[in-house]
Amino acid sequence: MSFRLLHYSDPHFGASDERVANAAILIAQHLEPDLTVVSGDFSMRGRKWEFEAAQTWLAKLPKPLLTFPGNHDVPGLNQLADRFFSPFRRFRKYISEVEEPSAKLGNVGALCSANSSTPFGLHLDWSRGFLGPMQAHAASTFFADLPEDQLRVFAMHHPVLGSGQKARALVSPMPMVSSFLQRSRVDLVLAGHFHQSKTALFPSPNSDSRSLVVSQAPSICSTRLKGEPNGFHLITLEKDAIEIELWRWDLDRFKPSYTRSFQLHENGWTNA
Ligand SMILES: [Fe+2]
Ligand SMILES: [Fe+2]
């Protein structure tokens, strides 16, 4: 028995391509996933009309649907009162009342999410992502209640994998995040934010730690592209196998691009 999870990210209404956004609805309806996850950045600047457009789009995606905020879902500096006193008011009104939802993945496993976006902090770069100790504790407790043979999927907007300049944009503090993922025996992490597809093992198989699988999805329909076209991941989960298929926008439609497969062994995940 397998479970098919459609992983969309970063639609960015306010800076989205309407034709691609509509095609994303059609392909999702055609693929009939067991669960659709959209990993944050629904709006561009947290404006009301952007959230309304996102709400209309989400209503057409297959259900069940699971969402959590990205850094662009916090109101901009022109909405200071909201930014500091109710940063996720519009997310809750238009996208979902729950900021950190969880879901059962058939009989294969379960997913727990966290809101890694913060409206303020001791830094000037407000696009950065954080996972607090209370959030890690809540997710650990969620996973601890699962039977041993169930897959554990953790989802947030900010990525765990990047290199060079991108290392700054990873969720932090990375030592704590990494230790939580290891302790909780997480099998798969879902993230977005970079607008680039990445499917890989984390940490790398050369390390002493147990490797897990990462799915960092590209932007589904934003016009703010970072060197690669719009796209998404279609993930097939089995208790001991994960397959991630990248679909890319190609001229006038989404097409399957490549597939990566991973296998579970006693000491963690490896490339299949
Ligand atoms: Fe984004
Ligand atoms: Fe982002």
What's the predicted TM-score (pTM) here?
0.96
Which of 212, 199, 200, 190 is CA-nearest to residue 267? 212
Q: Return residues with CB closer than 5 A to ligand 2 (ion).
A: 41, 70-71, 193
Q: 41: CA distance to ligand 1 center in Å?
A: 5
Nearest bound ligand to the CA of residue 224: 1
Other C-beta atoms within 10 Å of 84: how many?
A: 12
pLDDT given for residue 34 in this prediction: 98
Q: 215: CA distance to ligand 2 center in Å?
A: 15
Q: 153: CA distance to ligand 1 center in Å?
A: 21
Q: 195: CA distance to ligand 1 center in Å?
A: 6
Q: Which amino acid is at 141?
A: T
pLDDT given for residue 191 in this prediction: 98
Euclidean distance between CA atoms 110 and 158, whole angstroms: 20
Nearest bound ligand to the CA of residue 196: 1
Nearest bound ligand to the CA of residue 157: 2
Percentage of residues in the chain with pLDDT exceeding 90? 83
Over residues 203-228, the mean pLDDT reads 92
Euclidean distance between CA atoms 205 and 187, whole angstroms: 14
Other C-beta atoms within 10 Å of 232: how many?
A: 27
Q: What is the DSSP string of 27-88?
A: HHHHH--SEEEE-S--BSS--HHHHHHHHHHHHTS-SSEEE---GGGS--GGGHHHHHH-TT
Axis crossing angle, helix 174-183 with helix 133-144, rounded to the nearest 10: 10
pLDDT given for residue 121 in this prediction: 58
Q: 194: CA distance to ligand 2 center in Å?
A: 7
pLDDT given for residue 83 in this prediction: 75
For the cut 80, the answer to whether the pLDDT of residue 163 exceeds it is: no
For the cut 70, the answer to whether the pLDDT of residue 241 exceeds it is: yes
Report the run of H or E that residue 6 belongs to, with start and end.
strand 3-8
Nearest bound ligand to the CA of residue 14: 1
Binning the chain into helix, strand and coil, the percentages to the nearest 5 are 25, 30, 40
Structural domains of the chain, with CATH: 3-271 (3.60.21.10)
Other C-beta atoms within 10 Å of 128: how many?
A: 18
Euclidean distance between CA atoms 143 and 156, whole angstroms: 15
For the cut 70, the answer to whether the pLDDT of residue 167 exceeds it is: yes
For the cut 90, the answer to whether the pLDDT of residue 82 exceeds it is: no
Q: 267: CA distance to ligand 2 center in Å?
A: 32
Q: 144: CA distance to ligand 1 center in Å?
A: 31
Q: 78: CA distance to ligand 2 center in Å?
A: 19
* Mean predicted lDDT score pLDDT of the chain: 94
Q: 159: CA distance to ligand 2 center in Å?
A: 9
Q: 233: CA distance to ligand 1 center in Å?
A: 16
Euclidean distance between CA atoms 87 and 210, whole angstroms: 36
For the cut 80, the answer to whether the pLDDT of residue 168 exceeds it is: no
Nearest bound ligand to the CA of residue 16: 1
Report the run of H or E that residue 178 belongs to, with start and end.
helix 174-183
Nearest bound ligand to the CA of residue 226: 1
Report the run of H or E that residue 270 belongs to, with start and end.
strand 268-271
* 177 contacts 171 by C-beta, under 8 angstroms: yes
Euclidean distance between CA atoms 52 and 228, whole angstroms: 27
Nearest bound ligand to the CA of residue 44: 1
